[in-house]
Amino acid sequence: MARYWMMKCEPSVYNIQDLKNEPTQTIGWEGVRNYQARNMLRDDMKVGDYAFFYYSNAKVPGIAGTMKIVRAGYPDPGAFIPGHRYYDSKSNPDNPRWYQVDVKLVKILDAFIPLSALRQHPELTDLWILRKGNRLSITPLTAFQWDTILDIDL
């Protein structure tokens, strides 16, 4: 049974159009450097799960599209490459510290769903992204939350 996720990225760093322009519309979701989010990547995300591509730290934060997990958690190779922006000298291939998954674009949403629209739905009050102080770049969603978000009419 598929699980559902919210995956945050700053659109100035990488955005949904960048994913669309990838040769296979697939990328490794690299650079996660939080242990709780790392554990979700490593232990919980599986091939066939779905995720929202969420713009964080943006003028208008919100959901730009949907993705599918096409490769389960594996060591983030950037952590092992000196000079790489995600290099970590304490991580090595024999004892990796950081993980990533591969995601494939499913759909760019017809209408961007801003964070303000999510806040207008009382049935979404339990979304991690709506909690004060939540800084995690990856958070789980229930199937109900996923469906509710997809049904938002803007």
**111 contacts 117 by C-beta, under 8 angstroms:** no
- CA pair distance 131, 133, nearest whole angstrom: 6
Look up the CATH number of the domain holding residue 103: 3.10.590.10
The pTM (predicted TM-score) of the whole model is 0.95
48-94 pLDDT tens trace: 999 999 999 999 999 999 999 999 999 999 999 999 999 999 999 99
Q: How many domains are contained in the chain?
A: 1
17-41 pLDDT tens trace: 999 999 999 999 999 999 999 999 9
Domain range holding 15?
4-150
